[in-house]
Amino acid sequence: MNKLVLLALTFAMFIACGKKENQDDFSKPAASESNETTTETNSSSDYDPHRGEGKFENVDLGTGLNGAMADAGQKVAEVKCTSCHKLTEEKLVGPGWKGVTERRKPEWIMNFITNPDPMIDKDPELQAQLEICLVRMPNQGVGDDEARQILEFMRKNDGVN
């Protein structure tokens, strides 16, 4: 009986988080600025959907890819991220990472990695993603340096040289 219940729950999660037609990924920028602050759960009219919510206002990427930082970011991601995110466009528990650095600003990515809860509460696109997968991104306690390393790994994954 327990196996049957487990199988049913697994199937339900697979269906709930499966790829759906015409569903936007949380990592895509907003189509217009008119819906930036127009959701019931958005309690702050000063939320910036391009920067997110957090301390990172300007991330200097330097020139080209920092290989050592990307390698360190891969190690952090393997421990804290890849159980829920694939490096392709395919969704696992959360959306795939392929192309995220082309769709989102570095500040948004680092703020989301280090500060997911307030951003999920305020960002309409993140709220829509939550409705699709039914799982909030947990706060993994990623530090600033680790977040920057993960960002560099994401850039490497997207083909930055």
Tell me the mean pLDDT in the region 110-121: 95
pLDDT band at 31 (very low <50, low <70, confident <90, very high): very low
Question: 52 falls in which pLDDT band (50, 70, 90)?
Answer: confident
- What's the average model confidence in pLDDT over 51-67? 92
Burial environment of residue 83 by CB neighbours within 10 A (0 to 12, 13 to 18, 19 or more): exposed
Q: Considering only 33-37, 84-88, 120-124, which range has the smallest mean pLDDT? A: 33-37
**Residue ranges of the domains in the chain?**
48-161
pTM, rounded to two decimals: 0.72
For residue 140, what pLDDT is reported?
A: 95
- Averaged pLDDT for residues 69-98: 96
52/56 Cα distance (integer angstroms): 9
Dist CA 87 CA 100 (whole Å): 10
Superfamily grouping for domain 48-161: Cytochrome c-like domain (1.10.760.10)
Q: Which residues pair with 93 in a beta bridge?
A: none
Mean local confidence (pLDDT), 78-89: 96
Average pLDDT of the residues in 29-45: 42
Mean pLDDT of the chain: 80
Mean pLDDT confidence for 89-99: 93
CB-count burial class (<10 Å; 0-12, 13-18, 19+) for 58: exposed
- Helix, strand, coil % in the chain, rounded to nearest 5: 50, 0, 50
Q: How confident is the model at residue 147 (pLDDT cuts 50, 70, 90)?
A: very high
pLDDT value at position 43? 47
